């Protein structure tokens, strides 16, 4: 009854001229039971592609929805979407949209994709044929080799006549003696360094560095720091130390590798650089720096666990001073070495080998001096070293960062603190075994701030305590105490040079630590 009323109303509206066009309709809104609608506008038919299917719809478009009237948007097709959406309107007769036929043109992108698929399939077929032919050739070659070997063995054992059975192309192979593979597998890191290094101190050749790095098997963690961690590695029976940087700290890794590859840097008291490479562990990229392995760890660890004899303490100080002298030294020549200041010298950055030799490592904050252009090669980051070991001029900001000598004088101040740590652990008698203490342990905490160190070192002018018995007792206490005090002067220019300290310690060592040494 309700539908008949609607039809009556529609008929009346049609008679008065409000709606005059009947259209096919598939929308739920505005359609009667016969899926028809009446409008004063146009009939519309549209199709679109959706998830690989074509959807079509019939609609009535009222006159007030046709904008602009001359070319309404609801009836025009867009070039941008003509391959997935088309529409058309009509108003020439009732149900005229049933007579509209639309079809999508060929999409050039689809044609191109199809063409590429066909090309890929053709290439796969060609590659498959080549692979099969290559396998057949390999099988035939292997069969021929097996046949020749068996033929030669039978000939040697007398089962076949040499004249009739041995192939004319087969002859006894001889060549200049070469090194067998098993012998190469026993090559150690030291052998490689001897065979491939020119003495410049820049590590192994680049290709060999990557080869070594990919053959290193990582073992336990032996240290951690601001850069990442250090792990013991194993390469063909040789122990190496692998310093692993995070990819976020790439600049520090690049800088340290750059400094280690400085020509003529290699020295018995500088940590030996072997290789640098990057490794992908599946979740992130690791940056490796491979160096010689120091069995006793850092000097900090060594002094924490062990006391030293006067002779051992003197040797440790001499090793450190010798290494620092080589760093500070500029070597002239075609492959010369620039002068280098460490800028982060401390007991944790000095490593101890199994035989007690000390080497200086961790050159990430080092600065290089080019004497030709009188320029400084500074690291990328703004770190200034460990606060406990910073010189007074660094703490109060008065250091002249354009003068390379200022950085060397800062290293001398830190060297004096490290020497104090060593002397503090010298066991002068079996009954006295002093515990390890870091410099300024009695006036600042475990992790002092810059303000705390500035107050202690710059304002209060304090230095690590030199017990009176050190200066009154026999060598090496008195001479080492004098050297330390001359490393700590507030005036940087008054401090000793690394070469002067090295020569004084050499002379002290030569006298058997029983005689006094002349004032340095």
pLDDT by residue, tens only, the chain of 520 residues: 444 455 555 544 454 445 589 999 987 778 888 889 999 999 999 999 888 889 999 999 998 888 888 889 889 988 888 888 899 999 999 999 999 999 888 877 777 777 788 888 888 899 999 999 999 999 999 999 988 888 777 655 544 444 444 444 343 433 333 333 344 445 566 555 555 454 445 556 665 677 777 888 999 998 887 778 999 999 888 899 999 998 888 888 899 999 998 888 989 999 999 888 888 777 778 899 999 999 999 999 999 999 999 899 999 999 999 999 999 999 987 778 999 999 999 999 999 999 999 999 999 899 999 988 889 998 877 667 899 999 999 999 999 999 999 999 999 999 999 999 999 998 876 666 778 999 999 999 899 999 999 999 999 999 998 887 776 667 788 899 999 999 999 999 999 999 999 999 999 998 865 444 343 3
Closest CA to 417 of 338, 337, 320: 320
pTM above 0.85, yes or no: no
Q: What is the pLDDT of residue 15?
A: 45
Closest CA to 443 of 456, 424, 460, 431: 456
Q: What is the pLDDT of residue 20?
A: 80
Q: Same domain for 363 and 500?
A: yes
Assigned domain for 55 exists: yes
Q: Which residues pair with 270 in a beta bridge?
A: 360
Assigned domain for 150 exists: no
* Dist. CA 437–CA 425, nearest whole Å: 9
* Dist. CA 59–CA 152, nearest whole Å: 91
Domain range enclosing 407: 299-510
Rounded to 5°, angle at Cα 293 from 289 and 295 = 145
- Inter-CA distances, 401 with 303, 380, 397, 497, Å: 33, 15, 10, 18
Ramachandran area for residue 409 (φ above 0: left; ψ -120 to 50: alpha; else beta): alpha
| Residue located via tokens 């009836």 | 75
Assigned domain for 440 exists: yes
What average pLDDT does the structure give for the chain? 83
Greatest alpha-carbon span in the chain: 133
Q: Same domain for 236 and 268?
A: yes
**Which residues have CB under 8 Å from 361's CB, separation 6+?**
270, 271, 291, 349, 350, 351
* Dist. CA 235–CA 219, nearest whole Å: 11
The helix/strand/coil state of 19 is coil
Pairing of the two strands 36-39 and 358-360: unpaired
Tokens standing for residue 74:
């609801």
Residues identified as active-site: 344
Q: Same domain for 346 and 495?
A: yes
In order, the DSSP letters of 43-102 are EEEEEEEETTEEEEEEEEE-GGG--SSSS-GGGPPPGGGTTTEEEEEE-SSTTGGGG---
Assigned domain for 144 exists: no
Q: How many CA atoms lie within 13 A of 344 on its CB side?
A: 17
Assigned domain for 501 exists: yes
Closest CA to 414 of 359, 348, 368: 348
* Dist. CA 86–CA 223, nearest whole Å: 69
Closest CA to 324 of 278, 363, 291, 369: 363
Q: Same domain for 323 and 241?
A: no
Q: What confidence tens digit (pLDDT) does each residue in 408-442 have?
A: 999 999 999 999 999 999 887 666 677 899 999 99
Cβ burial 314-338 (10 Å sphere, 16+ → b, else e):
bbbbbbbbbbbbbbbeeeeeeeebb
User: Other CB atoms closer than 10 Å to residue 456's CB: what's the count?
Assistant: 18
* Dist. CA 491–CA 393, nearest whole Å: 8
Are 404 and 426 contacting, i.e. CB atoms less than 8 angstroms apart? no
Are 361 and 351 contacting, i.e. CB atoms less than 8 angstroms apart? yes
CATH code at 246? 3.30.200.20
Q: What is the pLDDT of residue 141?
A: 93
Q: Same domain for 405 and 279?
A: no
Phi then psi dihedrals of residue 74, to 5 deg: -70, -10
Domain boundary among 99, 124, 145: 99
Q: Which residues pair with 45 in a beta bridge?
A: 58, 88
Q: Same domain for 457 and 478?
A: yes
Q: What is the pLDDT of residue 518?
A: 41
Assigned domain for 303 exists: yes
* Dist. CA 419–CA 312, nearest whole Å: 12
Pairing of the two strands 217-224 and 21-24: unpaired
Assigned domain for 130 exists: no
Domain boundary among 273, 292, 311: 292
**Which residues have CB under 8 Å from 323's CB, separation 6+?**
267, 269, 270, 358, 359, 360
Assigned domain for 140 exists: no
* Dist. CA 246–CA 405, nearest whole Å: 33
CATH code at 63? 2.10.60.10
Q: Same domain for 378 and 317?
A: yes
Q: Same domain for 312 and 208?
A: no
Domain boundary among 99, 117, 138: 99
Q: Same domain for 339 and 281?
A: no
CATH code at 394? 1.10.510.10
Pairing of the two strands 339-341 and 367-370: antiparallel
Tokens standing for residue 73:
């948007």
Overall domain count for the chain = 3
Q: What is the pLDDT of residue 115?
A: 78
Q: Same domain for 15 and 53?
A: yes
Q: Same domain for 274 and 331?
A: no
Q: What is the pLDDT of residue 306?
A: 92
Q: Same domain for 336 and 454?
A: yes
| Residue located via tokens 């046709």 | 66
* Dist. CA 140–CA 159, nearest whole Å: 25
* Dist. CA 3–CA 323, nearest whole Å: 104
* Dist. CA 443–CA 173, nearest whole Å: 79
């Amino acid at each position: 009854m309700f539908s008949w009323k609607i039809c009556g109303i529609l008929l009346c509206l049609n008679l008065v001229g409000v709606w005059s066009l009947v259209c096919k309709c598939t929308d739920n809104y505005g359609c009667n039971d016969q899926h028809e609608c009446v409008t004063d506008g146009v009939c519309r038919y549209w199709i679109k592609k959706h998830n690989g299917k074509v959807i079509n719809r019939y609609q009535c478009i009222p006159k007030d929805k046709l904008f602009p009237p001359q070319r309404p948007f609801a009836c025009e097709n867009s070039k941008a979407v003509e391959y997935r959406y088309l529409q058309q309107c009509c108003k020439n007769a009732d149900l005229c949209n049933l007579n509209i036929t639309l079809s999508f043109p060929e999409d050039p992108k689809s044609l191109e994709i199809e063409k590429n698929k066909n090309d890929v399939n053709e290439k796969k077929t060609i590659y498959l044929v080549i692979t099969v032919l290559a396998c057949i050739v390999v099988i035939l070659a292997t069969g021929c080799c097996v046949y020749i070997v068996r033929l030669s063995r039978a000939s040697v054992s007398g089962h076949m006549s040499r004249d009739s059975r041995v192939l004319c192309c087969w002859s006894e192979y001889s060549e200049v003696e070469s090194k067998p593979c098993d012998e190469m597998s026993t090559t150690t890191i030291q052998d490689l360094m001897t065979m491939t290094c020119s003495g410049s101190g820049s590590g192994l050749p680049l290709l060999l560095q990557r080869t070594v790095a990919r053959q290193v098997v990582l073992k336990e963690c032996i240290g951690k720091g601001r850069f990442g961690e250090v792990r013991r590695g194993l390469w063909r029976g040789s122990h190496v130390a692998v310093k692993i940087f995070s990819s976020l700290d790439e600049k520090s890794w690049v800088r340290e590798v750059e400094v280690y590859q400085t020509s003529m840097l290699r020295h018995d008291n500088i940590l030996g650089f072997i290789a640098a490479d990057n490794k992908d562990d599946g979740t992130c990229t690791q940056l490796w720096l491979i160096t010689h392995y120091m069995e006793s760890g850092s000097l900090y660890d060594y002094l924490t666990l062990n006391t030293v004899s006067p002779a051992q303490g003197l040797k440790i100080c001499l090793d450190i001073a010798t290494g620092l002298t080589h760093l500070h030294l500029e070597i002239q020549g075609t492959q010369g070495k620039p002068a280098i200041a460490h800028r982060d010298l401390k007991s944790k950055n000095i490593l101890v080998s199994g035989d007690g030799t000390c080497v200086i490592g961790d050159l990430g904050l080092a600065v290089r001096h080019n004497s030709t252009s009188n320029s400084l090669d500074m690291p990328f980051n703004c770190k200034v070293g460990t606060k406990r070991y910073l010189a007074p001029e660094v703490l109060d900001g008065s250091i002249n960062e354009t003068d390379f000598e200022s950085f060397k004088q800062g290293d001398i101040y830190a060297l004096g603190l490290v020497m104090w740590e060593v002397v503090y652990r010298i066991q002068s008698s079996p009954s006295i075994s002093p515990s390890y203490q870091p410099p300024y342990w009695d006036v600042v905490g475990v992790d002092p701030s810059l303000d705390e160190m500035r107050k202690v070192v710059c304002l209060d002018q304090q230095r690590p305590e030199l017990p009176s018995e050190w200066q009154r007792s026999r060598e090496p206490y008195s001479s080492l105490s004098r050297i330390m005090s001359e490393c700590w002067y507030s005036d940087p220019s008054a401090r000793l040079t690394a070469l002067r300290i090295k020569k004084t310690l050499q002379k002290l060592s030569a006298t058997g630590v029983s005689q006094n040494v002349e004032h340095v």
